[in-house]
Amino acid sequence: MQVPAQFQYEKATSVDEALRLLAQYGPESRILAGGHSLIPMMKLRLAQPQALIDINEIGELARISVEEHTLCIGSMVRHAELLASAVVGEHFPIFHDAERVIADPVVRNRGTVGGSLCQADPSEDLSAAFAAVRGEAVIQGIYGQRTVPVREFFRGPYETVVGDGELLVGLRVPIRSSASAYRKVERRAGDWAVAAAGAELRLEGETVAEAGIGLTALGARSFCAPEAEEFLTGGPATQARFEQAGAIAAEHCAPVADQRGPVDYKRHLAATLTARALRAALHRWRGGHPAAGEARETEA
Ligand SMILES: Cc1cc2nc3c(=O)[nH]c(=O)nc-3n(C[C@H](O)[C@H](O)[C@H](O)COP(=O)(O)OP(=O)(O)OC[C@H]3O[C@@H](n4cnc5c(N)ncnc54)[C@H](O)[C@@H]3O)c2cc1C
């Protein structure tokens, strides 16, 4: 039986209390959100924090709201709550697409938005979705709050800019006129991505005024594809251009071979899924609503 090493358990009921506990226990303490990544790592002794600071009872971190034309998502919002939120689906359907294909209901009922981003797993779906829509992370320390673009949030695999004594309190996405979508290939329903791509488009007439592309499980720096975004911007929104953008995204990412597939297969998926996510976003921009099931493509 796998059991974690001994640790101190503390429950915070406010952000201030969580910050005080982080300061008290120092760098060997860890925040406990949904626990779906941290607890398995502790059982395997890949993580051995001296103290766990449970933030599950901090109600202010579990809210979704719209403030001054900005969608605000608390770090303790569960995957299932993001999926159920009408305001999220209305402005950024990319999050609903992504949430429908993250794990299973058990994980989605407990796992959190903040935990997903802070875990910084290279295969995390929400990291790519937030990168595509150019979200911002709100980080709090005893000094106050700072805001970091999600594209600058990740230092590398399993590493973020959240420092010792800091807490990710939420994510913010400015609301604008745009359309977005997410497409993922997995070996079987509920599995981590073999590869996935998200896209956001804003058009002026038939011209792409702004494009955002997020990639996951593809070794893309900061989960995004800036070369493909640059290629699309200012050009016509056509299928041929989307396929070219996909080819550019595939050329610039850096997938690794693993049990989910070889490099050339993953590059093929990078190209195909980028083009499909762009096409789905364009369809939504024109008033269409692709069926929910279309976000998932299983191999089996
Ligand atoms: C079987 C299974 C399948 C899964 N499949 C997928 C999938 O297909 N796609 C996908 O994207 N994810 C998947 N996940 C991961 C899931 O999304 C987890 O919920 C997520 O990785 C971690 O969220 P959590 O709330 O459980 O965080 P925790 O495990 O509690 O924490 C993770 C890390 O983040 C830190 N942390 C958490 N919150 C904060 C905060 N507010 N501020 C600072 N640090 C913080 C913790 O200290 C810890 O280091 C899967 C997980 C499981 C168990």
How far out from the chain centre does Cα 152 lie? 13
Look up residue 37 and give its DSSP letter. T
Q: Report which of residues 299 and 168 the model is more confident about.
A: 168
Supply the residue whose CA is at minimum distance from atom 23 of ligand 1.
Answer: 115
Determine the distance separating the centroid of ligand 1 and the alpha carbon of 32, expressed in angstroms: 10
Per-residue pLDDT at 71 exceeds 90: yes
Per-residue pLDDT at 251 exceeds 90: yes
128-178: per-residue pLDDT in tens? Answer: 999 999 999 999 999 999 999 999 999 999 999 999 999 999 999 999 999
In degrees, rounded to 5, the angle at the alpha carbon of residue 102 between the alpha carbons of residues 101 and 105 is 100
pLDDT band at 300 (very low <50, low <70, confident <90, very high): very low
Contact status, residue 112 vs residue 33, Cβ threshold 8 Å: yes
Tell me the average pLDDT across 254-258: 97
How much is the pLDDT for 241?
A: 98
Element (H, E) at 18: helix 15-25
Determine the distance separating the centroid of ligand 1 and the alpha carbon of 232, expressed in angstroms: 33
Give me the phi and psi of 269, to 5 degrees please: -65, -35
Tokens of 52: 């766990």
How much is the pLDDT for 3?
A: 87
Tell me the average pLDDT across 275-288: 94
Residue with token string 């001054």: 68
Report the alpha-carbon distance of residue 4 to residue 18 in Å, rounded. 22
How much is the pLDDT for 290?
A: 58
In the predicted model, what is the mean pLDDT of the chain?
95
Per-residue pLDDT at 291 exceeds 60: no
Tokens of 241: 């251009």
Supply the residue whose CA is at minimum distance from atom 21 of ligand 1.
Answer: 116
Supply the residue whose CA is at minimum distance from atom 33 of ligand 1.
Answer: 119
224-235: per-residue pLDDT in tens? Answer: 999 999 999 999
Strands 179-186 and 296-298: parallel
- Report all structural domains of the chain as residue ranges with CATH numbers, in order of start: 8-54 (3.30.43.10), 59-174 (3.30.465.10), 179-298 (3.30.390.50)
pLDDT band at 67 (very low <50, low <70, confident <90, very high): very high
Tokens of 237: 């929104």
Which residues, judged by CB distance below 6 Å to any ligand atom, belong to the binding site of ligand 1?
Answer: 30-38, 75, 102-103, 107, 111-112, 114-116, 118-119, 121, 124-126, 162, 167-168, 192
Give me the phi and psi of 124, to 5 degrees please: -70, 130
Query: Measured on CA atoms in the order 151, 153, 154, 155, is the torsion positive or negative?
Result: positive
Per-residue pLDDT at 66 exceeds 60: yes
How much is the pLDDT for 2?
A: 78
Per-residue pLDDT at 299 exceeds 70: no
Per-residue pLDDT at 197 exceeds 70: yes
Q: CB-side exposure of 275: number of CA atoms within 13 Å? A: 17
183 has which bridge partners? 197
